Homo-oligomer: A and B are copies of this chain.
Amino acid sequence: MTSFEALLATRTRHMEASAIREILKVATSPGVVSLAGGLPAEESFPLELMEQLTGSVLAKYGAKALQYDASEGFGPLREALVGHLAARGVYTEAAGIVVFSGSQGVLDALGKILISPGDIIAVEAPTYLGALQAFNPYEPEYVQIDSDDDGLIPEALERVLTTQRVKLVYVVPTFQNPTGRTMPLGRRQAVAAILERHGTLLVEDDPYSDLRYTGERLPPIKTFAPGNVAYVSTLSKTFAPGLRIGFCVAPEVIQQWMVIARQGVDLHTSTLGQALAAEYITGGYLERQIPRIVELYRPRQQAMLEALARHLPEDFRWTHPEGGMFVWVEGPRGLDAERLYGKTVARGVAFVPGKFFYVRQADGISTLRMNFTAADPETIDRAVGVIGGVIAEELGAGER
């Protein structure tokens, strides 16, 4: 029998199974409480609406909802997204919106048309792992932009753009996965000015901004530098992730090429899924569902923050995000979060060691990503308690 390993394309050297895939497999084992995943809660989905939405879609579109459709996206969904984006300050016509199969589909298309092997992509430290998975097959190099509790530091971005030839910048400015950090208004404007001055393209990935528990909505960077930003978002966290609905508003040349790229990838996103999404938005259901999702998650985040305060030692710190799905924990220097993970998993509790979200993993040895959306408050408290217990034992044993 022929072994085909020798056939693998050279780009596969840059590709690997998701670094956290094994962690997520373990995390979903029976008996394990997972604070590791990035799953929205099933209770957040408008399950009870689905039959009605389906009936409306079939009545409205009939067989068209089952037929091949345009690579740019299903017309009524593009139309419906105009208002959804306008409410965020991103103004565009329907023709300026392209629908993809999740944010992932957007990121793959952007990578395919923009990244030549060896091109440098500037990312936050840490960044969203899924974006690296989208970009890696196109063989970029990465440079980290220094970041702090308010996200990427504009002066650090300026330094990177001045000293290196950067093809594009990738940022998650609001309730970032994995840290929950949000870039404040002043930094957004500063970043926009830097982009315009350098003629640099930013990929602004914004999946969580509707999951806001406190504070005020912030305008996307796109609003300050519209010609320099490919703005990316999704309905995965406010409708249903299984439908794979993402979308992008990008400068025209980039949009045209993204459409060409995606034709070869999947022709178009599910027509039925897009029609359901259009109905969900135009029927007013999305805007009614968001506050329900917020009310579901707010106590869970609260429970996590309280549990961290109760169970972790003084020399641990963590983010206090105004929204999103994650809390980011930084242990003291010397903590090996992956070792800690091995021990907490043995006690039935999983999280994600944060180093996997860094392009320079060594920078994140002592960090942890904790998800609060997928468990109820009592479970969250117990799970954090287990983590705290393991840490205390390690401290008692003199290990860090």
Residues of A bordering B, CB below 8 Å? 1-5, 7-12, 15-18, 21, 39-40, 42-43, 45, 47, 50-51, 54-55, 58, 62-69, 101-102, 104-105, 108, 112-117, 119, 130, 133-138, 167-168, 196, 199-201, 227-228, 236, 240-244, 251, 253-254, 257, 259-261, 263-273
Residue in B9, B266, B270 whose beta carbon sits within 8 Å of that of A112 in the complex? B9
Instruction: Assess A66 versus B242: contact at CB under 8 Å? Given A54-B54, A58-B50, A134-B265.
Output: yes
Residue in B9, B40, B108, B260 whose beta carbon sits within 8 Å of that of A138 in the complex? B9
16 more CB-based (< 8 A) A-B contacts, given A4-B253, A130-B264: A2-B199, A2-B201, A9-B114, A10-B117, A15-B260, A16-B260, A17-B263, A42-B67, A47-B62, A47-B63, A66-B243, A102-B267, A135-B264, A265-B266, A270-B270, A272-B273
- A64 & B42 in contact (Cβ 8 Å cutoff): yes
Q: In whole Å, how far is A124's beta carbon from the nearest beta carbon of chain B? A: 19
Contacts of A47 in B (CB 8 A): 58, 62-63, 66
- Expressed in whole angstroms, the Cα–Cα distance for A266 and B101 within the complex equals 6
Residue in B7, B55, B270 whose beta carbon sits within 8 Å of that of A167 in the complex? B7
Instruction: Assess A272 versus B8: contact at CB under 8 Å? Given A264-B136, A266-B266.
Output: no
Q: In whole Å, how far is A39's beta carbon from the nearest beta carbon of chain B? A: 6
- B108 & A68 in contact (Cβ 8 Å cutoff): no
Instruction: Assess A266 versus B108: contact at CB under 8 Å? Given A66-B241, A67-B242, A273-B272.
Output: yes
- A4 & B243 in contact (Cβ 8 Å cutoff): no
Interface of A is mostly: helix
Closest to A168 in B: B7
Contacts of A5 in B (CB 8 A): 253
Contacts of A241 in B (CB 8 A): 66-68
Residue in B63, B227, B236, B264 whose beta carbon sits within 8 Å of that of A134 in the complex? B264
Contacts of A259 in B (CB 8 A): 17
Residue in B55, B115, B242, B261 whose beta carbon sits within 8 Å of that of A68 in the complex? B242
The 10 closest A-B pairs by CB, nearest first: A242-B271, A66-B240, A42-B63, A133-B264, A101-B266, A2-B199, A1-B227, A10-B116, A9-B116, A66-B242
